[in-house]
Amino acid sequence: MKNRILHLLKENEGNFISGQIISEKLGVSRTAIWKYINTLRNEGYHIDSISNKGYNLTFSPDLLSFEEINENLTTKYIGRNLFYFESLDSTNTKAKELALKDASHGTIIISEEQTAGKGRLGRFFLSPKYKGIWISIILRPDIDPLKVPKITQIGAAAVVKACEAFNINVNVKWPNDIILNNKKVCGILTEMSGELNKVNYVVMGIGVNANIDENDFPEELKNKATSISIETKNYIKRKEFVGILLNNFEKLYEEFVEEDNIKTSINICRKNSILIGKEIKIINRNKETLAKALDLDENGELIVELKDGNIYKVVSGEVSIRGINDSYTPQ
């Protein structure tokens, strides 16, 4: 009911709508409406109230609920079914739980914080409340399971496009990290449930350090991670960023599933790559191999040249990639 009242207020934003009209439209008492209005105020909404005129919404906070994100959403199915939480251990964990309960294709799980956010290889992902974008997307593509790693490139390209909409130039550290001024600002974690020839579901988690403060990072991360607000000195309106991110993701994802190619996504990742042309370390089961990153092929695999001159394709997910001394120079 609270969200239905908020929806009516937003439809009439800038104008008063009487409690009587809200009561008639929603079939609730004026007293109940007052209680929900106070709840919304406690959440950060500014709502004026005047006798005989009703309620007027004058300000909406930067929350990641459907009502807030929907204003910037142009998708057909990505994000149209949205589960919003104040706090979760992990959005990917919740997404997998909902996927097993037949949550629809394109369902979004988003939380204002994660208490046990997950990165690749089981690493902890810092996810403080109201300061980042912690989101997971449930997908049910009818594709060969071997093609699922390509979806990570689609996610990376969508994040790049969202950053560009805010005039922020970022780099992609293949396959799943977004880098800003030589520090990680976003991580992507793609997980799949499937059989040999069938994908049951894919869950893609995207964590964006939007407005995290410098003192939120533990000492061991301060030289490796950052946030958009730290680097740009500007607050990022998260709900706008999420809308743009999901709009771009759906467009790029449809190219993949309908045309069986990810050319646009690969071109975005290639253009913004922080690895191509650089000396890198390939780490596979604790074994390090030095190589030079040459390019991304049409499947999103990283083409590298080994020290013996052999050309090798690295498949997403089979190894870790690091720059020499973990230092990157954006191109």
The annotation places the binding site for biotin at: 90-92, 114, 184
How many C-beta neighbours within 10 Å does residue 119 have? 17
In the chain, % helix, strand, coil (3-state, to 5) comes to 35, 30, 35
User: How would you classify residue 56: left for phi > 0, otherwise alpha for psi between -120 and 50, otherwise beta?
Assistant: beta
3-state secondary structure of 143: coil
Feature table: binding site: 90-92, 114, 184
Residue matched to tokens 């709508």: 17
Q: Rounded to an integer, what distance in angstroms lies between the CA atom of residue 184 and that of residue 228?
A: 10
Q: Which of 228, 212, 106 is nearest to 164 (CA)?
A: 228
Sorted by sequence, the CB contacts under 8 Å of residue 328 that are 6+ apart come out as 171, 173, 179, 182, 274, 275, 278
Q: Which of 65, 79, 70 is nearest to 139 (CA)?
A: 79
Q: Rounded to an integer, what distance in angstroms lies between the CA atom of residue 271 and that of residue 266?
A: 8
Sorted by sequence, the CB contacts under 8 Å of residue 329 that are 6+ apart come out as 182, 274, 278
Sorted by sequence, the CB contacts under 8 Å of residue 140 that are 6+ apart come out as 104, 105, 199, 200, 201, 202
Structure tokens at 289: 């191999």
Beta bridge partners of 171: 179
Distances (CA, A) of 81 to 38, 63, 109, 298, 308: 26, 17, 9, 32, 51
